[in-house]
Amino acid sequence: MQNWILKRELSDQEQSVFAPYGELLGHLLFHRGIKTEEEANRFMNPNYERDLHDPFLILNMKRAVDRIIEAISKGEKIVVYGDYDCDGIPGSVVLHDFFKKINYSNFYVYIPHRHLEGYGLNLPAVEKFAQDGVKLLITVDNGITDVEEVDRANELGIDVIITDHHLPQAEVPKAYAILNSKQEEDKYPFDMLCGAGVAFKLVQALLRTGKDLWNIKEGWEKWLLDVAGISTIADMVPLHGENRVLAYYGLKVLKRTSRPGLLKLFNKARVNLADLTETDVGFTIAPRINAASRMGVPINAFNLLSTTDDVEAGMMADYLESRNNERKRVVTKMMIQVEKMMESDNGLSVIVVGDKSWPPGVVGLAASKIVEKYKRPAFVWGLEGAKEIKGSCRSDGKVNLVDLMVATGEGAFIGMGGHALAGGFSVSEESLDTLALKLSEAYLKLTTNNLDTGSPSLEKVEVDRKISIDDVNLNTCNMLAKMAPFGMGNARPTFLLENLEVSSVNYFGSKKDHLRLDFEDSFGGKVSAVMFGFRDKIDKDLSAGDKIDMLAQMEVDTYGYRPKVRLKIIDLR
């Protein structure tokens, strides 16, 4: 059950700051932490030159740039080692396109296999690079924890430049240079870039230093914003500061992209580039890029983004589409098994489920669905094709997963890591029987719910504002679009609509588990609202004439002859 928390109205003095943007936008901006006219202007009108910081403010940037230019001047073999997800792969394309632009050919891109090699640098790959004559290794979106692997590279005569955005541990690798603004001694003004964002800053610095060497037109790097923008949106970094600029201009460049792989992919997904939004990145591009590593070979996703060959682009788009469809089938099958497992739910605070036949690459997707349905943290594991049992975990928002795994105590996990809301782990088969109990005991210690009353805790949902059904129109949608792109740190506004009378009800989908409600506004027009998977959230069927309160977000449906506004239902009573 959800507790709807309506954000307070602004005073006249608070509202006056936002006079140029109108009353609704002013209200929304204020509650996103924007308090001055200058801050509002920067947010509403991103500017590439003004809002991106000097890349040389990043610790070790000059040292990294000098070493890369030295390698280029000597003709040394360079390898770009990118992570296998929708941050590392586009980030690797950023560096690939830079080397191609300056006509440097003695390099290649290496994307490790998720199941066979695992995350980050690995010793067999490092040793193979040495055999290949590699003298410089540049990581993208990984490397900050790979102490042993960097030591081995140093022994083999390979200099390592780490570009990463993950949190450094107590011991950092002895790399030639580390570009990561989360280092304590780094004074860069913005430390929330994604991996591709760090790679983009490196290319900015390289082009500035080598402008007389390569004679590249100033501003060329803006064409790399399509892939840097994809990662910024897909990797769930907060969309403010530099990230807002990268995402904002990234979408603009994506609408004009000439990358044949992306064009083929958009065509298959029936995405109209003129109407492209961050939602298309999150639900069209990112799942397909990630499907390559979850269900197949990740280098194929890199090939799709980097190729200039139309035939290869078509082949790679077909490959990613098939892997993504297979990923959907596998997750659907897994969720059917999960529902059967949950029939004997033990009621523990943390759900632990898994099967040796489940591929570890997709268990995180199942974990997210479990949290959404059962409102508890979920730890989901699999083994298929892997050397050890691996899993992914997702939080219900009440507990930090890293804290939870640490609090479980020694011996529960072989390995673990991640962030507050998402993480990964490996575990021995012997530990599985007691893992749910240990996690649940740790969860109860960490949470602050009043367990003595026996009453269920309410999930708090912040509501931006109360509106009427008459406010749901294209004018309002166009106004809200000025705040896009939406994402983490800049959520799409959620509105409360009260005492609505349902004019018609339609259940759709193969299982009739999706809901569409129609309402009439005071002008006699029809407003539709949809809720996907509503039976996981609402335990009562609705009928025409029912009165409801509803939380919803506005979106433009571009399908059909002309665009129309509809509501996406978040919750209803």
> Cα separations (Å) of 95 from 36, 108, 173, 228, 530?
37, 10, 22, 11, 42
- pLDDT tens, residue by residue, 452-473: 333 344 567 889 999 999 999 9
Q: Which helix (H) or strand (E) holds 124?
A: helix 123-131
pLDDT at residue 541 in the model? 83
CATH architecture of 345-446: Roll (3.10)
Task: Determine the average pLDDT of the residues in 530-556.
Answer: 88
- pLDDT tens, residue by residue, 268-307: 999 989 889 999 999 999 999 999 999 999 999 999 999 9
User: Terminus-to-terminus CA distance in the chain, angstroms?
Assistant: 10
Cα 199 off chain centre by: 17
| C-beta separation of 150 from 121 below 8 A | yes
Which candidate, 185, 120, 123, places its Cα nearest to that of 158? 123
pLDDT at residue 454 in the model? 39
421 pLDDT exceeds 90? no
pLDDT at residue 458 in the model? 55
- pLDDT tens, residue by residue, 355-382: 999 999 899 999 999 998 898 999 999 9
pLDDT at residue 294 in the model? 92
Which candidate, 352, 342, 264, 266, places its Cα nearest to that of 308? 264
Using pLDDT thresholds of 50, 70 and 90, give the confidence band for residue 423: confident
Using pLDDT thresholds of 50, 70 and 90, give the confidence band for residue 93: very high
Burial class (CB in 10 A: 0-12, 13-18, 19+), 154: middle
Beta strand 495-501 with 107-110 is unpaired
Task: Determine the average pLDDT of the residues in 554-569.
Answer: 85
Task: Determine the average pLDDT of the residues in 419-425.
Answer: 85
**What is the distance between the alpha carbons of residues 95 and 355, in angstroms, rounded to a whole number?**
39
pLDDT at residue 416 in the model? 86
Q: What is the CATH number of domain 460-572?
A: 2.40.50.460
pLDDT at residue 1 in the model? 55
Fold for 55-254, please state it.
Answer: inorganic pyrophosphatase (n-terminal core) (3.90.1640)
Using pLDDT thresholds of 50, 70 and 90, give the confidence band for residue 560: low
- pLDDT tens, residue by residue, 500-518: 999 999 999 888 889 999 9
**What is the distance between the alpha carbons of residues 84 and 64, in angstroms, rounded to a whole number?**
23
Other beta carbons within 10 angstroms of residue 514's beta carbon come to 16
150 pLDDT exceeds 50? yes
450 pLDDT exceeds 70? no
Q: What is the largest CA-CA distance in the chain?
A: 77
**What is the distance between the alpha carbons of residues 196 and 554, in angstroms, rounded to a whole number?**
30
pLDDT at residue 422 in the model? 86
Looking at every residue in the chain, the average pLDDT score rounds to 93
pTM over 0.85: yes
- pLDDT tens, residue by residue, 36-85: 999 999 999 999 999 999 999 999 999 999 999 999 999 999 999 999 99
309-322 residues labelled b (16+ CB within 10 A) or e (exposed): eeebbbbbbebbbe
Cα 314 off chain centre by: 25
Using pLDDT thresholds of 50, 70 and 90, give the confidence band for residue 563: confident
Query: Domain residue spans in the chain?
Result: 55-254, 259-328, 345-446, 460-572
* Share of residues in the chain with pLDDT > 70 (%): 97
Beta strand 378-382 with 415-418 is unpaired
Using pLDDT thresholds of 50, 70 and 90, give the confidence band for residue 448: low
**What is the distance between the alpha carbons of residues 363 and 368, in angstroms, rounded to a whole number?**
9
